[in-house]
Amino acid sequence: MKTKLPYQESSLLHLIIDFTKKSKFCIVFVYLFLSNVSVSAQESNLFSPLAVVENVVPNAYATTNGGNSFLGPFSNSQRTYQMLIAASELTNIAGKNLMSISFRNSGTVSTEWPATSTTYNNYDIYLSGSVNPVDRSFVFAQNVVGTQTQVRSGDLIIPAGSLTIGSNPNNFSFDIEFDTPWFYSGGNLLVEIRHDGFSGTSRSVDAAGTSTSGYGSLYSACWGSSYTAVSTTTQGNFVIVNFKADDALSVDEFKENELKVYPNPTSDLLYIDSELELSNIKIVNMLGQMVYSEELNNQKSSISLSQLNSGTYLLHLETEYGVQVKKIVKE
């Protein structure tokens, strides 16, 4: 039986691989023929979980409900929402690449969300260092320490029923994958979400209230009712968030090169030629499900992408120096 993979639509015919590599890397050639195909779930081990490290913030609510709710992340109106997190809440993922964030239904809801597939035309996420939560300002820029990095941009499609119910607390059942992994070296963290709303019904998610023990010392939040808000007079509940992270390459040992795309009308091959040993290749869809995996023991690899449906994926390349993850888009 053939199974269609979940996919995220795209309007351009392209494959994007911004591959960060050590200076001794050769050129990597990519040949890709874009087509809609099906794949056998049994043959390809579809929907296998990707081995990652997770970190729920606030830590105290990893296995219990926050007791409150907040609308910001999945509001149908424009929002800018900042989450300030103390370093002590993030020790599990220090020294790793942050790959995604996710939220969960509050314990008071009785339905999954959304009822039908929902699309944000723009759902942008920025990460940076942060001031201490106790020093939070209602001027957003004053909460930023260092440089803000945009790790996600563009549309976000949330399939029907992505936020599930039936657990206590409810599961983190929908991952918002980053376009670009972000290396978290430690320290206070600021997450800023900017979105332009959508046509449909909002959903409040599980959160810790402003009077909860730890609010203002371990975590804090504020928001504005605009996609480009710069300040607000409103603090917000802190949404219970789950980060997923993977091992990171040393920033000092690698440099970036941009690679070109060569569509090939006669093959579906992704060809990689490197001077570093490649030990594993994984491809993960935007729901966090692994759709392809292959063990390697050489410096060259060519894999067929014919088993992938149209959509956006993350390519994980494991080398002797760690893992690199880059976005690929197939139409």
26/300 Cα distance (integer angstroms): 11
Residue 143 burial class via C-beta count within 10 angstroms: exposed 0-12, middle 13-18, buried 19 and up: buried
Residue 154 region, left (φ>0) first, then alpha (ψ -120 to 50), else beta?
A: left
* Tokens 């979400």 sit on residue: 193
Tokens coding 118? 């929902």
Q: Supply the mean pLDDT for the chain.
A: 77
Residue 159's φ and ψ, nearest 5 degrees, are -60, 155
* CA–CA distances in Å: residue 282 to residues 152, 292, 314, 327: 20, 5, 8, 12
* CA–CA distances in Å: residue 19 to residues 125, 126, 257: 21, 21, 6
Tokens coding 239? 């949404």
The strand pairing partners of 82, in sequence order, are 192, 222
150/226 Cα distance (integer angstroms): 18
Q: What are the residue boundaries of the structural domains of the chain, listed by start?
A: 2-49+249-330, 53-247
For residue range 8-41, list pLDDT tens digits in order.
333 222 333 333 333 333 333 333 333 333 333 2
The pLDDT-based confidence of 233 (bands split at 50, 70, 90) is confident
H, E, C per residue of 231-300: ECCEECCEECEEEEEEECCCHHHCEEEECCCEECCCCCEEEEEEEEEEEEEEEEECCCEEEEEEEEEEEE
* CA–CA distances in Å: residue 262 to residues 14, 195, 288: 9, 33, 27
Per the CB < 8 A criterion, the answer to whether 190 and 84 are in contact is yes
70/49 Cα distance (integer angstroms): 29
For residue range 162-219, list pLDDT tens digits in order.
999 999 999 999 999 998 888 888 899 999 999 999 999 999 999 999 999 999 999 9
pTM of the entire structure? 0.66
For residue range 238-288, list pLDDT tens digits in order.
999 999 998 654 333 333 332 232 234 445 666 666 666 677 777 777 655
* pLDDT for residue 311: 75
In the chain, % of residues over pLDDT 70: 68
* pLDDT for residue 211: 96
* pLDDT for residue 48: 37
Reduced to 3 DSSP states, what percent helix, strand and coil does the chain have, rounded to the nearest 5?
10, 50, 45
* CA–CA distances in Å: residue 329 to residues 33, 174, 228: 12, 20, 27
